[in-house]
Amino acid sequence: MDSLSLILDDMHFNGVVFASTHNTSPWAWRMATPGLASFHMVTSGQAWLIREGEEPLLVQAGDLIVQPAGGQHRIQDRPQTMAVAQDFLPIMAKSELEPYRHGGGGQPSCDLISGHARFDVDMAAPLIAALPSLMHVRGLGEAPPLWLAIGLQFLAQEVIAARPAQQAIINRLGDILFMECIRDYVESVPEGSGNWLAALKDRALSCALAHMHRDPRRNWTVPELAQEACLSRSAFADRFTQTLGEPPLTYLTRHRMRLAARQLSSSGLPINKIADQVGYASEAAFSQAFKREYGASPSAWRQQRLAAAINPTTVGAIAAAGQQAA
């Protein structure tokens, strides 16, 4: 399996939360899903995306826009709308297939399919940080991507009426569309850009990354990784550090700590077992490495996550701390 596929697998995609809306002028929605990618697909008409500090962006029929970090934004009928923006999330929570009718009843109208992805925020943090704040895939023009046209047609057809396995199909399709956006962006990243995603296009570095993600428990050394990449030790270490911004074993340690954090928050495994799963024979050494990365011992971090599950108001603060560490 290639390195990008392994990185996406590590994110543990779990479908999408979405809503279909029919909007008549004037209309406006507001939305924020911190850490979780949000998206809008315009199936007919047009809309304007409004983000603080950015110029209004026209989104036309057939377009897909994705905000990988789920930033605060509005989507509305015109740059200076008369409408008061309504929160999108309660509408999505209803999970109704019938398009929600919204707006003042005037023309022009706009049909949207909007939502956000569900995945492990901590595991996704490095990838999300490397992506642009907005990805705009245009469905019009000389060569719109075939996957977008097919995906929009498929999704629009799927939400028309209730059918068996509908949510499961929509979940998988939402995951695929987001992955396609990421793949398109990775393919467009130029060499020397300073973006670590360029490593995924480098056969040698991509091979080394794939080995680390496929077997993070192994006690990898730089010479072993260099051998897998078919490079000398010094050439591999220099290229890896220059492209990804950190040495190979530092990257591996940070990846191991994210895997450990996931186990701490989602399982009841003893800490020594988690340490072993991520390549540490010593629980003490693992605890030191984890505290350097997350600012708390594994047991304290687990307790914070358990408290967050009981008191959701603390989730944002803990997630933000984890993203800063990543």
CA 95 from chain centre, in angstroms, equals 21
CA distance 283 to 254: 17
CATH 1.10.10.60 given to domain 198-325: yes
For residue range 115-127, list pLDDT tens digits in order. 999 999 989 999 9
Give the residue extent of every domain in the chain: 3-188, 198-325
Asked if residue 142 has pLDDT above 70, the reply is no
Percent of the chain with pLDDT over 90: 72
User: What is the pLDDT averaged over residues 49-53?
Assistant: 97
| pLDDT at residue 324 in the model | 40
Cβ pair 92, 19 in contact under 8 A: yes
For residue range 59-108, list pLDDT tens digits in order. 999 899 999 999 999 999 999 999 999 999 999 888 777 889 999 999 99
Asked if residue 227 has pLDDT above 60, the reply is yes
Joined together, the tokens standing for residue 239 give: 């290229």
pLDDT band at 191 (very low <50, low <70, confident <90, very high): confident
User: What is the pLDDT averaged over residues 147-165?
Assistant: 83
Cβ pair 75, 114 in contact under 8 A: yes
- The sign of the dihedral angle between the CA atoms of 135, 49, 35, 16 is negative
Can you identify the CATH homologous superfamily of domain 3-188?
A: Jelly Rolls (2.60.120.10)
